[in-house]
Amino acid sequence: MKYQKKVLLMGGMGNKFFQLSRALELKNNNLTVEVVFVDHSIQRLYKLSGHVIHSDWLDIVLLARNLGIDARPISLIEFIHLALKFACRKLGLLIKFDDKIEDTLNLGSNFLESKWDIGYFQSSHHVSKKSLDRVADVLLSFLHIQKLNNNSEVMTCHIRGGDFDSKMRLTNIEIQSLVNFCNSESLKLEVVTNDKFFCRDLFDNQSYNLSNGKSALEDFALLASSINLYLSNSTFAFWAALIATRSHNAVIYVPENWSYAEFLTGKEKFI
């Protein structure tokens, strides 16, 4: 099959879920589309080109196929071509990246001049909530997530740690507000994090329970199955929250700098 568009899967799993949603958006607009990923044979070159390698904690190819989207590894020639494009971007040269969906679909803008569709696609200008919801529903069935943390007296908090931009991290003030809220509502605080040391510094001497998840998949399932969720400003937390709201109408609490309000229920509560 000849594909009109190729969507590159890159970054962590949360980013890749958005990119799968973008591919689904293109497919729903009657374009033939495939997703292309960096496999083990290219990863060393990928790292040498300045990109961070994130481990996949589920089978992204199987997930794509469950969405009716073809997936394949990138070829060496394609990788070299994209590496040059990214180098040009770092030099400030204009390349197509993170295009709005309307621009990509606009036949008058020569949208077929490049088959590649590259970006993070994390706003309503890039992908519809319908496509995100579809990916979330397939994830829900794909992972067989149950209410592992169905205690309404627990607040599950996600904290993204030291590998995250400092401007996007939760602050001591936000954590203090969360602790105060939990105390006022008699909620036990359980924390899911990828950085226990950052978490310890963030909470200082505040009391909390640390989740005993042994993998990113277990952490994700715990978040997605919770009734009360406080989110860090990360795609990992966003996707868990989207599944939780669609699965069992979880109550979502967010910090003031929350980036994804347009994609959840619109009923998120700020603490």
Please say whether the beta carbons of 117 and 6 come within 8 A.
yes
Q: What is the pTM of this model?
A: 0.91
Tell me what pLDDT residue 121 has.
Answer: 97
Helical spans, DSSP H, in 30-75: 40-48, 60-66
Lowest mean pLDDT among 14-23, 36-45, 226-235: 36-45
Residue of higher predicted confidence among 243 and 261: 243
Tell me what pLDDT residue 181 has.
Answer: 95
Please name the residue that has the structure tokens 């309000």.
Answer: 261
| pLDDT digit string, tens, across residues 125-166 | 999 999 999 999 999 988 777 656 667 899 999 998 766 666
Residues 221, 197: Cα–Cα separation, whole Å? 22
CB-based burial of residue 12 (10 Å sphere; 0-12 exposed, 13-18 middle, 19+ buried)?
Answer: middle
Tell me what pLDDT residue 214 has.
Answer: 86
Residues 227, 241: Cα–Cα separation, whole Å? 10
Side chain identity, residue 264:
L
Residues 197, 208: Cα–Cα separation, whole Å? 14
Nearest to 254 by CA among 183, 170, 184: 170
Residues 75, 233: Cα–Cα separation, whole Å? 33
Residues 55, 40: Cα–Cα separation, whole Å? 11
Tell me what pLDDT residue 143 has.
Answer: 79
| Residues found in the chain | 271
What secondary structure does DSSP assign to 147-209, as a single string? -TT--TTEEEEEE--TTS-GGGS--HHHHHHHHHHHHHTTPEEEEEES-HHHHHHHHTT---E
DSSP three-state, residue 16? helix
pLDDT at residue 35 tops 90: yes
| pLDDT digit string, tens, across residues 9-28 | 998 999 999 999 999 999 99
Tell me what pLDDT residue 107 has.
Answer: 53
pLDDT at residue 72 tops 90: yes
Tell me what pLDDT residue 90 has.
Answer: 75
Tell me what pLDDT residue 266 has.
Answer: 78
E strand residue ranges, the chain: 5-9, 33-37, 70-73, 116-117, 154-159, 188-193, 209-210, 228-230, 251-254, 269-270
| pLDDT digit string, tens, across residues 179-227 | 999 999 999 999 999 888 889 889 988 889 999 888 999 999 999 999 9
